[in-house]
Amino acid sequence: MKRLKSYYINLRHSQPHTMDRKWIFPLAIGSIVSLFLLFLSTLTSPDGSPFLPFYRSITASSSVFVESKLHVIPTPAISLPPPPEPPRLAYLISGSNGDGHMLKRTLLALYHPRNRYVVHLDLEASVQERSDLNRFVTEHPVFSQFKNVKMIAKANLVTYRGPTMVANTLHAAAILLREGPDWDWFINLSASDYPLVSQDDPGLYMTKKADVFWVTQRRSVPTAFKLFTGSAWMVLSRQFIDYCIWGWDNLPRVVLMYYANFISSPEGYFHTVICNAQEFRNTTVNSDLHFISWDNPPKQHPHHLNIDDMQRMINSNAPFARKFRQDDPVLDKVDSELLSRGPDMIVPGGWCIGSRENGTDPCSVIGNTTVLRPSSGAKRLESLIGSLLSSENFRPRQCK
């Protein structure tokens, strides 16, 4: 027992000293090497670079850093959708005997290269007057370049009573669809309209206009659809015009047959179709976008507008007004103050980039036809549309 205890004690006291001596030599060698390397690191070559290659690879080159291996992936630019194109309009401008000159003036005041136009002088106009209009349309340098004005060569006989005016309107709409459906709204105007911003009827069978034939028998009100009335002047969407021409559910043709024996078809046909077609009945706004001066109570025709009506026309915010006598001085005032249009010129827009010096027509030089240059009339029209679509005025169920 004593021998074992003595051994344990000796081992316990002698072991630390032995282990301490084991580590002295490696520690000394490691210190000497470290000092030597530190000394070498202070030495440089004549060109200023360190002697040790491995040191240079760490300090002088960044290729060993992880960050140098990374490449910034460019963030793709956010592509915003292009702004919507301005709407394209399709116009029918119609007139009768003696309206050729006024029709030209209205066409010039309404013209834009992006729009489409059909002009029509009815059978009562002379051959010479219609030939003169056709020559004007085909030889005008801007019209001929854009080829967006077409004259109905085979004239229709149009009266303000019976279905002839509706038939003529549908004829023009069909031509516009055939020429190119790249338009949004159809607008019918007469030669006596002017912009303020930018078949059982005798008329179908006679070569001269006459009053309608009156019959004593009264027809019953149809039960398949309700009758509606409104202005003969309207703005219709291309989708609705498609529907009226193609009539895929037959309603437009049924209504047209009914209005063939109706005294005032232009003031009822389109209104009855749109208010009986489920697809369109809640898309109407009760306005024809015209300023018209009526008697109270209204007579068959409105007053002819003149200089005294100028401010009321402006205050109405309407884009169109009627009726005007040919070359009335108020038209010159509208041209100069509202349209900036020179005599016998097109209303200049953003696409007209020619000089205005010495009365030169700026539209003689054509630029980008998508460029718009709104005038003060744009604000007036915006105010009118905002009012028509307000909750106080717009009632989606107006066809009741």
pLDDT of 295? 84
Identify the CATH number of the domain in which residue 326 sits. 3.90.550
DSSP code per residue over 48-65: S-BS-HHHHHHHT--TTS
Task: Kindly state the average pLDDT of the residues 31-52.
Answer: 49
Q: Residue 97 in contact with residue 208, Cβ under 8 Å? A: no
- For residue 359, being part of any structural domain is answered with yes
Per residue in 114-138, pLDDT (tens digit) is: 999 999 999 999 999 999 999 999 9
Name residue 10's amino acid.
Answer: N
Q: What are phi and psi of 194, to 5 degrees?
A: -150, 140
Radius of gyration of the chain (CA): 43
Query: What is the rounded (10 degree) CA torsion for 159, 163, 169, 174?
Result: -140
Q: How confident is the model at residue 29 (pLDDT cuts 50, 70, 90)?
A: low
- For residue 229, being part of any structural domain is answered with yes
pLDDT of 118? 97
Q: Residue 174 in contact with residue 118, Cβ under 8 Å? A: no
Measured CA to CA in angstroms, residue 136 lies from 21, 97, 113, 117, 246 at distances of 120, 17, 16, 14, 32
pLDDT of 8? 37
Total of domains in the chain:
1
Which residues does residue 118 pair with via DSSP β-bridges, in sequence order? 92, 150
Could you tell me which residues come within 8 angstroms of residue 380 by beta carbon, excluding any fewer than 6 positions away? 196, 197, 314, 317
- For residue 231, being part of any structural domain is answered with yes
- For residue 51, being part of any structural domain is answered with no
pLDDT value at 286 more than 60: yes
- For residue 259, being part of any structural domain is answered with yes
The DSSP H or E segment spanning 109 is: helix 100-110
Q: How confident is the model at residue 10 (pLDDT cuts 50, 70, 90)?
A: very low
Name residue 235's amino acid.
Answer: V
Task: Kindly state the average pLDDT of the residues 294-313.
Answer: 90
Dist. CA 304–CA 293, nearest whole Å: 8
Measured CA to CA in angstroms, residue 366 lies from 44, 346, 369, 371 at distances of 74, 12, 8, 11
Per residue in 230-281, pLDDT (tens digit) is: 999 999 999 999 999 998 889 999 999 998 887 789 899 999 999 999 999 8
- For residue 148, being part of any structural domain is answered with yes
149: nearest Cα among 196, 90, 236? 90
Per residue in 368-400, pLDDT (tens digit) is: 998 888 888 889 999 999 998 888 887 766 787
More confident residue, 51 or 122: 122
- For residue 396, being part of any structural domain is answered with no
3-class DSSP assignment, residue 115: coil
What is the domain range of residue 238?
89-214+221-388
Look up the pTM and report it: 0.76
Per residue in 328-363, pLDDT (tens digit) is: 999 999 999 999 999 999 999 999 999 988 889 999
- For residue 11, being part of any structural domain is answered with no
